[in-house]
Amino acid sequence: MVFAGLLLLSSWHLDEGHNDNTMSRAAMVAALVEHGTLHIDTYEQLTGDKAVLNGHFYSDKAPLPALVVTPFWWVAARTGLAQPGEHGLLTDGLLRLGGFLCGSVPFALIITLLALRLVRAGVPLPHALYAAALPMFGSFLFVYSGSFYSHLPGACLLLLGALAFEREQWWRCGAWCGAAVLCEYTLAVVPIVVCAVLLLQRRWTPLMQVVAGGVPWALLLMGYNVATTGHALEPLYAHEAHYTFMEQRMGFALPTADALFGLTLSPYRGLLWYMPALAVLLAYAIGRIAWGEGARPSAYTWAALAGIVAVSGYAMWWGGWAYGPRHLCATAVLLLLACPIALLHDLRWRTALHAASIVGLLMAWAAKSTVWYSLPTEERMPFRTIILPHLANSDWNAWQWPVRLGLSPMSASLLFLLIFAAALLVLPRAVQRFR
């Protein structure tokens, strides 16, 4: 019941925007279903995120999200639910399906998993649900739910890996992490850090089991590389059509101070700006350390911090046109996982966490109800210069399913807030009643 309610809220907005990122994945799905091939020659003019090799164009994205959506779109096409449009089977319907499967579903699942973990740790159900749902909805991750990106599937799979690590289910940990890397190659830093921690602890059997769990996914990735570039260890990023800087080390170099600040503290792409709940968690952690009560960070906390450092060395660390640090979606989830249970038992800190999350929710709602994540790279204060003016001018986004039923975009946007508040009040009580 909780998952269904969260899925309703996370799929309220379904992205139909023709941006390079989502169109690249959709092009791969359409090519597989319509032409039975991995090259996207028929649709290559619709996206700038592509690789070119031997006269053919390919999506340059990690393959797993597109491969997950493909069988669903194949069934829709074969049953007549999906009809060709101007660009064949690459339609807005495909973008919405990809947004639901790779945005809404993993977003709702992340919250459900976080809440269940807190309940098992002894946190009462209402507090557990609020502590999991409010920081997620009150963050940049909510803006990407309903969009055909890879960040949320990758974050969800890494969360499953982290939970398996906590339970010492080593093979599952490696398998989940391996799958995450096939959603987003940069997430490879997480299993690398986890393996390094086990290596330093000389836990040889767990280390080998983690590696063994990731091997099938590594083989799948090498098979995909062979099918596209002809070489098992050569990704499509080595053949970029436009972003040629990625041909060298996939665009990575040494971290820079400007990128570190931009990804953490700045109003441009700062993690603490676009997920205010993390600022409360950081303040709580600093306070505990100051009083000599700090807990030892887990392997996944170190992995999350390593993820920030790694992305700060990426040539395009700001993520192009984006709302918040979109490359840090998985990092944000792993940092939420580190939330101390003691904080949730302290009324003052719990109130601060919820208040910060509500501020983040209103920010994310304002963005998603107007321009979504279409914030130009050159805007250093995008919330003030773009989102607020659009909100003031009532430039509401029509990509909401109630709009398809006849409701106005403004009414649908306001109705979302009402249903969100009602869901938070009703869901915990309903679950307790039917236990």
Measured distance CA(225)–CA(235) in Å, rounded:
6
Lowest mean pLDDT among 70-84, 247-261, 275-289, 395-409: 247-261
Nearest Cα to 127, choosing from 137, 135, 138, 115? 115
Q: Is residue 375 part of a domain?
A: yes
Range(s) of the domain holding residue 136? 2-17+99-400
Give me the pLDDT at residue 430, please: 67
H-run or E-run covering 50: strand 50-53
Average pLDDT over residues 246-258: 80
Residue 196 pLDDT class (50, 70, 90 cuts): very high
Q: Is residue 120 part of a domain?
A: yes
Look at the alpha carbons of 186, 191, 195, 197 in this order and tell me if their dihedral is positive or negative: positive
Model confidence pLDDT, tens digit, residues 85-108: 999 999 999 999 999 999 999 999
Give me the pLDDT at residue 428, please: 73
Model confidence pLDDT, tens digit, residues 12-52: 999 999 999 999 999 999 999 999 999 999 999 999 999 99
Give me the pLDDT at residue 242, please: 76
Q: Is residue 171 part of a domain?
A: yes
Give me the pLDDT at residue 2, please: 83
At position 49, the amino acid (one-letter code) is D
Measured distance CA(357)–CA(280) in Å, rounded:
9
Residue with tokens 């990804």: 263
**What value does the CA radius of gyration of the chain take, rounded to a whole number of Å?**
21
Query: For the packed helices 105-120 and 2-10, what is the interaxial angle rounded to 10 degrees?
Result: 140
Residue 419 pLDDT class (50, 70, 90 cuts): very high
Q: Is residue 422 part of a domain?
A: no
Q: Is residue 128 part of a domain?
A: yes
Give me the pLDDT at residue 420, please: 95
Nearest Cα to 149, choosing from 402, 328, 377? 328
Give me the pLDDT at residue 263, please: 97
β partners of residue 85:
88
Q: Residue 435 pLDDT more than 70?
A: no
Measured distance CA(179)–CA(83) in Å, rounded:
31
Q: Is residue 27 part of a domain?
A: no
- What is the percentage of the chain residues whose pLDDT exceeds 90? 83
Q: How many domains does the chain have?
A: 1
Residue 125 pLDDT class (50, 70, 90 cuts): confident
Give me the pLDDT at residue 425, please: 84
Model confidence pLDDT, tens digit, residues 141-170: 999 999 999 999 999 999 999 999 999 999
Q: CA dihedral defined by 102, 105, 111, 116, rounded to 10 degrees?
A: -130
Nearest Cα to 367, choosing from 382, 345, 346? 382
Q: Residue 434 pLDDT more than 60?
A: no
Q: CA dihedral defined by 166, 168, 173, 174, rounded to 10 degrees?
A: 140
Q: Is residue 69 part of a domain?
A: no
Rounded to 5°, angle at Cα 156 from 152 and 159? 140
pTM of this structure: 0.95
Q: Is residue 94 part of a domain?
A: no
β partners of residue 53:
56
Give me the pLDDT at residue 275, please: 98
Average pLDDT over residues 53-72: 96
Residue 431 pLDDT class (50, 70, 90 cuts): low
Give me the pLDDT at residue 251, please: 76
Eight-class DSSP state of 366? H
Average pLDDT over residues 375-394: 95
Give me the pLDDT at residue 358, please: 97
